[in-house]
A and B are shown apart, each in its own frame.
Chain A
Amino acid sequence: MSTRQMGEKVQRREDPRLLTGNGRYLDDLGRGALQAAFVRSPHAHARIVDIDIADAWELDGVEAIYTWEDLPGRVAEPLPVLIPHPAMTHARTGYCLARDEVNHVGEAVVMVVARDRYVAEDACARITVQYDTLPAVVGVAGARDGDRLVHDDVPGNVAANLRQEVGDVDSAMAGAPHTLTLELAIERSACMPMEGKGVFGRWDADDGSLRLYSSTQTSTGVRAAVAAKLDLPLAKVEVVTPDVGGGFGVKIVHPWPEEVLVPWAARNLGRDVKWTEDRREHFVSSAHERGQLQEVTVGFDDDGRLLALDVRFWHDNGAYTPYGIIVPIITATQLLGPYKPGAYRVEFWSLYTNTVLVTPYRGAGRPQGCYAMERTMDAIAEHRGLDRAEVRSRNFIQPDEMPWDHGLMFQDGRPLKYDSGDFPASLAKLKALVGWDDFAAYREQAEREGRRVGLGIGCYVEGTGVGPYEGGHVQVETSGRVNVATGLTTQGQGHQTILAQIVADELGVPFDDVHVTTGDTRRMAYAVGTFASRGAVMSGNAVALAARVVRAKALRIAAEALEVSPDDLEIADGVVSVKGAPGTSIALKTVAVMSNPLRYAFDESAAAATQFAGTFDPDTPPVGDDDEPGLEGQDFYSPTQATFANGMHAAVVETDPVTAEIRILRYCVVHDCGVMVNPMIVEGQVHGGVAQGVGGALYERMLYDEGGQLLNASFMDFLMPYASEVPHIETDHLETPSPLNPLGIKGAGEAGTIPVSAVIASAIEDAEGFPIRSMPISPADLWELRRRHAASDPDPVPAQEGPR
């Protein structure tokens, strides 16, 4: 009897290889390949006057130097707008190499290909680019003013303006007994995976084909984009994603300029070409996220129940919009969390600035939305003198109200409709975990010791597993080995383990026999990518469906061989047997042999499938009209909508009464992602998400000066937390299955990150007794806030009470 794999803390298949130096990340490939480096703009906004490459050509080892003028055809055209949206009236994208103008520090201007990276950088250092600098637009407020423009033809720097309204907000607000207005700010951070981006191109001149390796979150996306750019038939381009050293969103954007230029140069030069992004490049030429200014007006009754919610926010999208307005759309919709808002209106402006472009980073707009909503909840509780958990509870959508349709359009163009969730149960678990009701006593005790502590809370709902689809292919070899392929890529989420768990269960084979390939267009050409916590939901269900196809076929073939009905058969441990009569059985690998009629035997098992090996019906063809050879099958999972996971976090912080240093004493998580395939991996995802959230709340801030220079473009000054800065995380889980998919699962990848800034702000506010309206917050920031409050010159202002 096989042990069921679903729900087990199965150790990861990936680990032994990665732990022993046998991983193969992008830069581990292509030993001996030529290497690329780029001259990047030192200016945030400038016109290119002249480029002098003569000196660089002198260098031994330089193979090619390219500027925009060297680029042919579509390579010279702007990069694609990946996700167009009607509200995005002014989409703008950059070129692979800057054409006439640069719009952020770090934009690629010249590409050098050389013997190695050292020489390539030497050449870059010898290239002179003459610029006419232009005024830079930096920061949301600066962009909103519209005095200076990033793109001359985009008035007010507005890339998009989108408004959604459900109910009549104006009259609901007018009728509300209480209203408050909050002005909020949240700053930029970035995914910052430990491995930067990287591309390795190998052109096969004999075959006229390209094999491209990229550290990407979407190999099929890169493939289609590169084929289009290089004007190659899709059939002549294959994209393989090797081991990827973290993504967190930044690698879903494609094609990056380098993903076009590297293969183009490889074809040009007839040589392998590789580019490995270094850390400084990653800071200034990949992508950031988060930066928004928000204005929330809320109307509520005496009990703190929401009657109307009116939200406006301004989103910094950086210099270009290749990824559309997905991030602000998610903020606008996921802001609602587990709550019924009453009438709801949200309007945002997505604004250009002369900074690195802004695309999804783990959470993808949700942390900002959660922050806005949860700050509002705390303000309501404060205003009414109510318990903060109680106010939240009173506004929850109840389990018996599921599915809950908010009446809004979500990021996938489909309705924002929650499929399931039990928010009261989650809150009860959280309060028990953190000791919510005992905190007052703890605080008093701490006060007696001269310590200042605070308790914070934050709740969120996360739409996960958005479409359009993912595919699974499952094949049983005659050895019994089961090959599983799915097209989406993996960056550490343990897909090779969890997908094997799912297939092992669905097919009835030992876990160790199942081998999973991800992100290789040679094995699965139809796929979307890894983002929006969709890997387990989409590919998990896809491989389950594919395994069911294979299982059905195996049962059919075995049933014929055993002369029983397929309904009487079961598969366990790789053996098909008659239920209740385990002696009557046939190994799955034998079924695989039988599934593929052969003329040529290549081993003993194959001999059993050759044409003289047995009896057959001379009136039917070896492969039936509605059949295919091989014990394999493929299927796709394509849901009507996203499935919604949720969670609630609480933290206890201590702030030093003098130095304002902030320490997280406890961090508690209750998490509901439906059925857990592998609780160990889910837990790991939560831990990592919280750590990134802590970074975003207390340490990480992309700091630009007025001229658009990123002041902290290194790990010395961009403060990603070490182990010493991340608290021990206490977790509890709820499993509310999704009714939308066969496995009942929801995504878990981003969850941990979403509410952390909201929770930490809530806890610091609770400790300090004055509102926290801007995140992240450093000790120096908090100290400054204290000074202002002591001087009765509060800024930011507390929530403003409305006129009624």
Chain B
Amino acid sequence: MSQFAAEPLLDITVRVNGIRRTAAAPARRLLSDFLRHDLGLTGTHVGCEHGVCGACTVLVDGEPARACLMFAVTAQAHDVTTVEGIGHDPADLDPVQQAFVECHALQCGFCTPGFVTTISAYLDEHPDPSADEAREAISGNLCRCTGYQNIVAAVLRAAELRREREGTA
């Protein structure tokens, strides 16, 4: 009988969007698959599984990382934020999400969660980017629909919205 037959399952616990989540999965389960299929958080999308497209970008301890280049088991004891953690209620959008609507920064929407997480983390560190900086900030994520121009605009608009919300907070 092959070794595969008894591939052991590990109880993997990750704090996802502020909540401790546990599921049994083999060691080779990618964080992207763990989030999507074991935890049912399908907002994180898988575009290439070799770390180039950025669709699966989540925040690990607040920093953007490719969920397809991490095994879930390595994410244990870390904080993972997915697009659902940025904002899961269509009627209550986070500033980045709101900016995407206003600027028409998405078309098919498949790459979008990776952009939203990336931009959220970026704006935490760079609250007032220039257009060139905004373009550079999104230059690790592939989008096949938009041509990026409106995403650049959305980064700038999101920065504005964040400042407005902080001002009124």
Q: Offer 5 A-B interface pairs, CB within 8 angstroms, sorted by A.
A: A16-B93, A17-B90, A119-B4, A723-B136, A723-B152
Q: A20-B87, A194-B110, A714-B48 are in contact. Are A246 and B93 (CB under 8 A)?
A: no
The 7 closest A-B pairs by CB, nearest first: A21-B43, A245-B110, A492-B108, A18-B109, A687-B147, A492-B107, A691-B147
Name the distance in Å between B84's Cβ and chain A's nearest Cβ: 4
Q: Given known contacts A248-B144, A492-B106, what 17 new A-B pairs fall within 8 Å (CB)?
A: A15-B109, A19-B101, A20-B88, A21-B43, A21-B84, A22-B90, A27-B42, A59-B4, A194-B143, A195-B47, A681-B104, A684-B104, A687-B147, A687-B148, A691-B147, A715-B53, A722-B140
Q: Which of chain B's residues 111-169 have a Cβ closer than 8 Å to chain A?
A: 111-113, 116, 135-136, 138-152
Name the distance in Å between A433's Cβ and chain B's nearest Cβ: 16
With a 10 A CB-CB cut-off, give which of A27, A714, A715 has the most chain B CB atoms: A715
With the chains together, A27 CA to B110 CA distance in Å?
11
Q: A23-B109, A680-B104, A715-B50 are in contact. Are A724 and B139 (CB under 8 A)?
A: yes
Contact with A along B40-70 (1 / 0, CB 8 A): 1111111111101101000000000000000
With the chains together, A636 CA to B38 CA distance in Å?
44
With the chains together, A60 CA to B7 CA distance in Å?
9
Q: Which of chain B's residues 1-21 have a Cβ closer than 8 Å to chain A?
A: 1-2, 4-7
Query: Counting CB contacts under 8 A, is B83 at the interface?
Result: yes
Which residues on A sit within 8 Å (CB–CB) of B93? 16, 19-20
Contact (Cβ within 8 A) B6 A60? yes
Which residues on A sit within 8 Å (CB–CB) of B2? 58-59
Contact (Cβ within 8 A) B47 A279? yes
Which residues on A sit within 8 Å (CB–CB) of B55? 194
Contact (Cβ within 8 A) A714 B102? no
Contact (Cβ within 8 A) B146 A687? yes
The B interface is mostly helix, strand or loop, or mixed, namely: loop
Contact (Cβ within 8 A) B50 A714? yes
Contact (Cβ within 8 A) A724 B136? yes
Query: Counting CB contacts under 8 A, is A278 at the interface?
Result: yes
Contact (Cβ within 8 A) A19 B108? no
Q: A684-B146, A722-B141 are in contact. Are A493 and B107 (CB under 8 A)?
A: yes
Which residues on B sit within 8 Å (CB–CB) of A743? none
Q: Which of chain A's residues 16-47 have a Cβ closer than 8 Å to chain B?
A: 16-25, 27-28, 31
Say which residue of B5, B6, B53, B116 sits within 8 Å of A194 (CB atoms): B53
Contact (Cβ within 8 A) A21 B83? yes
Which residues on A sit within 8 Å (CB–CB) of B48? 279, 714-715
Binding site for A on B (CB under 8 A): 1-2, 4-7, 26, 28-29, 36-37, 40-50, 52-53, 55, 82-84, 86-91, 93, 97, 100-102, 104, 106-113, 116, 135-136, 138-152
Which residues on B sit within 8 Å (CB–CB) of A192? 144
Q: A20-B90, A244-B108 are in contact. Are A688 and B84 (CB under 8 A)?
A: no
Contact (Cβ within 8 A) B108 A195? yes
With the chains together, A283 CA to B88 CA distance in Å?
33
With the chains together, A562 CA to B116 CA distance in Å?
53
Query: Counting CB contacts under 8 A, is A729 at the interface?
Result: yes
Which residues on B sit within 8 Å (CB–CB) of A686? 147
Nearest chain-A residue to B140 (Cβ)? A722
Q: How many residues on A have C-beta within 8 angstroms of the other chain's C-beta atoms?
A: 61
Q: Which of chain A's residues 229-250 have a Cβ closer than 8 Å to chain B?
A: 243-246, 248
Contact (Cβ within 8 A) B49 A278? yes
Contact (Cβ within 8 A) B101 A245? no
Contact (Cβ within 8 A) B148 A691? yes
Nearest chain-A residue to B87 (Cβ)? A20
Query: Counting CB contacts under 8 A, is A726 at the interface?
Result: yes
Contact (Cβ within 8 A) B109 A16? no
Q: A18-B106, A20-B97, A248-B144 are in contact. Are A716 and B52 (CB under 8 A)?
A: yes
Nearest chain-A residue to B38 (Cβ)? A31
Which residues on A sit within 8 Å (CB–CB) of B28? 118
Query: Counting CB contacts under 8 A, is A720 at the interface?
Result: yes
Q: A21-B41, A31-B37 are in contact. Are A122 and B4 (CB under 8 A)?
A: yes
Q: A18-B109, A118-B26 are in contact. Are A27 and B97 (CB under 8 A)?
A: no
Contact (Cβ within 8 A) B84 A20? yes
Contact (Cβ within 8 A) B144 A22? no
Say which residue of B106, B108, B151 sits within 8 Å of A491 (CB atoms): B108
Which residues on A sit within 8 Å (CB–CB) of B150? 684, 687
Contact (Cβ within 8 A) B89 A20? yes
With the chains together, A681 CA to B108 CA distance in Å?
12
With the chains together, A686 CA to B49 CA distance in Å?
29
Query: Counting CB contacts under 8 A, is A257 at the interface?
Result: no
With the chains together, A245 CA to B142 CA distance in Å?
13
Q: A194-B143, A195-B108 are in contact. Are A714 and B52 (CB under 8 A)?
A: yes
Contact (Cβ within 8 A) A28 B147? no
Name the distance in Å between B41's Cβ and chain A's nearest Cβ: 7
